[in-house]
């Protein structure tokens, strides 16, 4: 059973800096932190980079608030699935600019019959770390999306869908610039990567066909 998330209205306002984690254990007030839910911050044509695309779309916040790492990961999955399905891995470059490093804490209090024997009240009120969040201020860029000019409507619609996963108001800005051609080394690297992807896809398809054939033979033998 999945753990029930606490309502985010309790953490949305940026009233103070929440406990930060430091690489130096001596400087860290909190000695440990939960694992990252956002598994990638750069997606798409990473080898070619964003300079090859003339269109730069940004998703910018209108509010000052905290965003839960769950919502950032939900945005990433939604946008990546749509862009890869329409353009493939080499047709865009998506980057997350909001990095969740603030610790979110909760002091759970038991409720109901017999709660006085289970709850510690405010005796240990620092609370238990239940996740991470990102503090964003008005005008902060949350996502960068680089793509071709002819794909502008697709990019805008994708960012709009991604913004529905957030608990803040946002708007989209577009910037056109001169694209920089890829070098021979970047082109060769992209070709090698595409070849590896095609080979892996072919091997997976062959294995699936082999498994299906075995299942069909077993079913026939059972009859």
Domain regions of the chain by residue span:
8-109+121-180, 183-223
Other beta carbons within 10 angstroms of residue 66's beta carbon come to: 20
Strand arrangement of the beta sheet that strand 102-106 belongs to: 65-68, 128-136, 102-106
Beta bridge partners of 102: 20, 133
- Cα–Cα distance measured from residue 165 to residue 74, given in angstroms and rounded to the nearest whole number: 7
Q: Can you state the angle between helices 152-163 and 69-87, rounded to 10 degrees?
A: 160
Read off φ and ψ for residue 130, nearest 5 degrees. Answer: -115, -5
Question: Which whole-number Å values give the CA distances from 154 to 23, 90, 192, in the listed order?
Answer: 39, 15, 28
Q: Compute CA 84 distance to the chain's CA centroid, rounded to the nearest angstrom.
A: 15
- Cα–Cα distance measured from residue 161 to residue 212, given in angstroms and rounded to the nearest whole number: 37
Cβ contact 92:42 at 8 Å: no
The residues, any chain, with a CB within 8 Å of residue 64's CB and separated by 6 or more, are: 14, 136, 137, 138
- Cα–Cα distance measured from residue 58 to residue 172, given in angstroms and rounded to the nearest whole number: 6
- Each residue's pLDDT expressed in tens, for the chain with a length of 223 residues: 455 677 767 677 777 666 666 777 777 777 777 777 888 888 888 877 777 788 889 999 998 888 888 888 998 999 899 988 888 888 889 999 888 888 887 776 666 565 555 555 566 566 777 888 888 888 889 999 998 888 889 989 999 998 888 888 889 888 887 666 666 666 666 666 667 667 777 777 778 888 888 888 887 787 7
- Cα–Cα distance measured from residue 219 to residue 79, given in angstroms and rounded to the nearest whole number: 41
Other beta carbons within 10 angstroms of residue 4's beta carbon come to: 6
CATH, range 8-109+121-180: 3.90.1170.10
pLDDT reported for residue 1: 42
- Cα–Cα distance measured from residue 83 to residue 154, given in angstroms and rounded to the nearest whole number: 8
């Amino acid at each position: 059973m999945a753990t029930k998330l606490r309502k985010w209205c309790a953490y949305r306002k940026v009233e103070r800096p929440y406990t930060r984690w430091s690489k130096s254990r001596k400087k860290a007030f909190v000695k440990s932190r939960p694992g990252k839910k956002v598994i990638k911050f750069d997606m798409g044509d990473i080898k070619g980079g964003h300079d090859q695309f003339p269109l730069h779309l940004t998703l910018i916040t209108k509010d000052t608030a905290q965003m839960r790492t769950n919502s950032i990961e939900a945005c990433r999955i939604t946008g990546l699935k749509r862009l890869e399905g329409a353009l493939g891995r080499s047709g865009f470059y998506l980057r997350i600019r909001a990095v969740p490093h603030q610790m979110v804490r909760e002091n759970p209090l038991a409720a109901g019959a017999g709660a006085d024997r289970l709850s510690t009240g405010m005796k240990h009120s620092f609370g238990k770390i239940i996740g991470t969040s990102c503090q964003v201020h008005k005008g902060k860029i949350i996502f960068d999306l680089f793509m071709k000019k002819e794909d502008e409507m697709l990019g805008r619609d994708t960012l709009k869908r991604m913004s529905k996963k957030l608990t803040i108001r946002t708007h989209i800005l577009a910037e056109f610039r001169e694209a920089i051609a890829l070098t021979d080394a970047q082109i060769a690297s992209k070709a090698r990567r595409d070849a590896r992807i095609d080979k892996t896809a072919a091997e997976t398809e062959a294995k699936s066909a082999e498994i299906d054939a075995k299942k069909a033979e077993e079913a026939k033998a059972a009859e």
